[in-house]
Structure 1
Amino acid sequence: MTKPIEGFSKLTKEEKLDWITTNYTENSEDAKKILKRYWNPDKTLQQLHDEFIENTLTNYYLPFGIAPNFLINDTLYAIPMAIEESSVVAAASKAAKFWLTRGGFKTRVLGTQKIGQVHFIFQGNPQKLSAFFEEIKPKLYSEAVPITKNMEKRGGGITEIELRNKTKALENYYQLHCTFETLDAMGANFINSCLEQFANTLKTGAQNFASFTKEEKNIEVVMAILSNYVPNCLVRAEVSCPVNQLNVGGQLSSADFAQKMVRAVEIAKVEPHRAVTHNKGIMNGIDAVILATGNDFRAVEAGVHAYAAKDGRYSSLTHAEVKDNTFRFWIDVPLALGTVGGLTSLHPLVKLALEILGKPSAEELMQIVAVAGLAQNFAALRSLVTTGIQEGHMKMHLLNILNQLGATEAEKTRLTEYFKKNAATHSAVVAAFEQLRKS
């Protein structure tokens, strides 16, 4: 049995490789070869990657692709996407091409407010706490000035601090609920620094507040941390066109297609099991652009799914309607993104992705990301209500299956042509491959 190790982070990279491959892999030398194969030959670039996190062994690659032909507010974009899932980039590109000749995507930012909270326990009179808060509120702002002055020069900063009584939910629990504008920065470090200063001011001020008893002076700050739920940092993306322009081919009329799309969204609104998969498809597009642009997809995922449940039941993020013979399809989605700071100034591919997008502001990136999510959902629903999802997905997955089977380039070419006209189920691909090998 492998023993725990002390001081792993202090080992050299080679020593870490030796330890992990010796103790946790079947063939140490083969494992080391795999890990080293993904090292960047540019030592400066590799060191940069090594220092992003602790205990780095190698780089984990994801495909970096482009979905072209996105017309957004009359500007044409090619959207970078970093994702491993088959068909995502192709589906987004297909949706972009469909709407390119139907007016494109229209977007607008509905709000940019970020949120942070100081959570604390107060065992005392709520009225005295309210009086204390009103007295100390100006000091909360003033003592944070060393942190906020640069942000304020650019037009951002703290927008509000309020005291919230949460004792009905948890005994003696209160919070400072704080809102911020962070401009082109995602703002996590700025917000957390402000919140920790608020916590210090709160505790120190309580000790000097004459109306408090000795027990009331001892406010217990539990934590000070930003929230990734940002319902007021919101963007809308939409498409619309006359119903008769929704010609998707096949036996389905434009009117029938429009009604099926509306029905599909209505089902996702009322059925949580469907809504989760529906929204997961939206996040395929959103996460891919967020990764490519160096933003935090985990924070966005958490906030988006919380927003999907804001009315007390998990529901669809997208909406669809037919009104006055016009089909309209849209999404409202919370996105706290940054185009400065973090990886945006460090990772070469992130910098390139932002350059491809025209070096957008945070608000512009919000709109681009929302469009990617809407396009992905449109493409998925279009497949679901027409041919079914598997036909397109499995054809995109075909090369993955053939690579797993060890197909040669000639065999891939033959089988790709074959499955342009035949259903590409996993078993059908295996059978066709085996038959080709036999012949």
Structure 2
Amino acid sequence: MRGFGKYYRKTWEERLAILRDTFYLDDNDIAEIEHVSGNGEIGDTMVENFITQFEIPEGLGLNYVVNGKEYLVPMVTEEPSVIAAASNGARLVKAGGGFNAEVKSRLMLGQIVIENITDVDELVRKIKADQEHLLKVANDAHPSIVRRGGGARWLRTRILANDLLSVDLAVDVQEAMGANMLNTMLEAVANEIQCTYHQDVLMSIMSNYATESLVTTKARIPVSELAKENISGEEVALKIQQASRLAQLDPYRATTNNKGIMNGVDAVTIASGNDWRAIEAGSHAYAARDGQYKGLSQWYFEDGILIGELTLPLPVGSVGGSIKIVPLVKINHKLFKAKDAKELSMIIASVGLGQNLAALYALVTDGIQRGHMRLQLKSLAVSVGAKQDEISKLVNLLEKNKKRDSASARELLEKLRREEL
């Protein structure tokens, strides 16, 4: 495509000019791109071929009490009702004392994959015998993390095929997300393996399946808090228990159940400046760890209490990456008031469980649409051109007339404006 050669070397103004000329963008299009572009220097630092910032709304999840401490939780999402649902789920859990969360360990995993092996059992024996030396090689590649109390902790071997071996390295990355650090250490160990054992290394790369960074959060809700209109709290609790069981049995339901959990997890992860795609991939892999994809959460009813539990791999950081360069992410960390990455991960997991509770509660009582609908109608009103002071009025008209399509919304908006003139 003409004009896009070495696009990244061009100035921001030149990039926009090429877009204007090649795709016939008008003045309004260019003005909108310029309006939301923000700090171009930050954008150029983070991505190649930068043109603008893509805005997604940020709000606050409320009512979150984790291990006795109350939090405001920044959440970034474009989906209506996510933050409202997360806050409502947390309100129910708060009535039972809040979430109890723990981090059993926080190690990042990487793998060195060796190929073309003639005697895999003999190679495994050699690597196990030399593991202390290989750990030292890893630590020598990144001494600063060792000085801060982190570093390589252990390695293991996994035979993937007769000619393929994975050497897994576990590293304490302290407060960082740790990808670059871990990859540096892996490459050092890979080079040592090549030179010492004369083996071919296929690749050295961190893994996003963070099974050594598991976070568990639990909730206990008295059934008295679950009663709704003509449904008793005990009946609601039993239905949530059955819905949870369904997600363990049926991967079709499990996928949607887990998507709801990730609605909350992703929103907080994005707000914290962490890699939400890595968290998504690791969480879904963890959901299939037993050979069948299952719901990540489990709920059961016992002695008048609805009990929920969620375990997720959450290798998030509190320093590094976009955390140190994006101003809004820095502000969000002030709002989180988490003293370290472990505390942040416990907040994220608790939002996932709160989001799940809200979704299941809606599904087994009113149905999911009732809670979503008004927010969806607000989005519809905005999409047809309603101004700020017209949105609520138009939503009320849409609800009164039981209309949910764009044509009806435009018609009702025109009617609203005519009657106010």
SS of 1:198 mapped into structure 2 = helix
Q: In the alignment, residue 129 of structure 1 is paired with which amino acid?
A: L
Corresponding residue of 2:244: 265
Identity value in percent: 33
Query: Does structure 1 residue 252 correspond to structure 2 residue 231?
Result: yes
Please say if residues 267 and 274 of structure 1, whose CA atoms lie closer than 8 Å, have aligned partners that are also in contact: yes
Of 268, 277, 300 in structure 1, the residue corresponding to residue 256 of structure 2 is 277
Cα drift, residue 178 of structure 1: 1.4
1:16-37: per-residue Cα shift (whole Å, max 9, x none)? 21223322x2434443222112
Question: How far apart are the structure 2 equivalents of 1:235 and 1:5?
Answer: 45
Corresponding residue of 1:311: 290
TM-score after normalising by structure 2: 0.93
1:79-123: per-residue Cα shift (whole Å, max 9, x none)? 001111111111111222222222111111132232110011143
TM-score after normalising by structure 1: 0.89
Of 189, 192, 198 in structure 2, the residue corresponding to residue 201 of structure 1 is 192
Cα drift, residue 419 of structure 1: 5.9
Please say if residues 395 and 424 of structure 1, whose CA atoms lie closer than 8 Å, have aligned partners that are also in contact: no
SS of 1:191 mapped into structure 2 = helix
Question: How far apart are the structure 1 equivalents of 2:128 and 2:368?
Answer: 58
Query: Does structure 1 residue 50 correspond to structure 2 residue 30?
Result: no
More displaced, 5-14 or 26-35?
26-35
Question: How far apart are the structure 1 equivalents of 2:72 and 2:66?
Answer: 10
Corresponding residue of 1:37: 35
Corresponding residue of 1:27: 25
More displaced, 261-270 or 424-433?
424-433
Query: Does structure 1 residue 382 correspond to structure 2 residue 361?
Result: yes
> Runs of 5+ in structure 2 lacking a partner?
none
More displaced, 322-331 or 78-87?
322-331
Question: How far apart are the structure 1 equivalents of 2:285 and 2:124?
Answer: 30
Of 358, 363, 368 in structure 1, the residue corresponding to residue 337 of structure 2 is 358
Question: Quick one: structure 1 residues 319 and 78, their matched pair in 2 at CA, closer, same or farther if it must change by over 3 Å?
Answer: same
Query: Does structure 1 residue 185 correspond to structure 2 residue 176?
Result: yes
Q: In the alignment, residue 157 of structure 1 is paired with which amino acid?
A: G
Corresponding residue of 2:58: 64
SS of 2:75 mapped into structure 1 = strand
> Runs of 5+ in structure 1 lacking a partner?
207-216
Query: Does structure 1 residue 87 correspond to structure 2 residue 87?
Result: no
Question: Quick one: structure 1 residues 127 and 312, their matched pair in 2 at CA, closer, same or farther if it must change by over 3 Å?
Answer: closer
Question: How far apart are the structure 1 equivalents of 2:401 and 2:226?
Answer: 27
Please say if residues 228 and 300 of structure 1, whose CA atoms lie closer than 8 Å, have aligned partners that are also in contact: yes
Query: Does structure 1 residue 368 correspond to structure 2 residue 347?
Result: yes
Question: How far apart are the structure 2 equivalents of 1:184 and 1:312?
Answer: 32
More displaced, 144-153 or 301-310?
144-153
Please say if residues 398 and 429 of structure 1, whose CA atoms lie closer than 8 Å, have aligned partners that are also in contact: no
Please say if residues 94 and 379 of structure 1, whose CA atoms lie closer than 8 Å, have aligned partners that are also in contact: yes
Question: How far apart are the structure 1 equivalents of 2:246 and 2:32?
Answer: 46
1:295-349: per-residue Cα shift (whole Å, max 9, x none)? 0000000000000111111110110111223210121111110001111111111
Corresponding residue of 1:209: none
Cα drift, residue 383 of structure 1: 1.0
SS of 1:139 mapped into structure 2 = helix
Question: How far apart are the structure 1 equivalents of 2:403 and 2:215?
Answer: 38
Question: Quick one: structure 1 residues 331 and 8, their matched pair in 2 at CA, closer, same or farther if it must change by over 3 Å?
Answer: same
Number of equivalent positions: 418
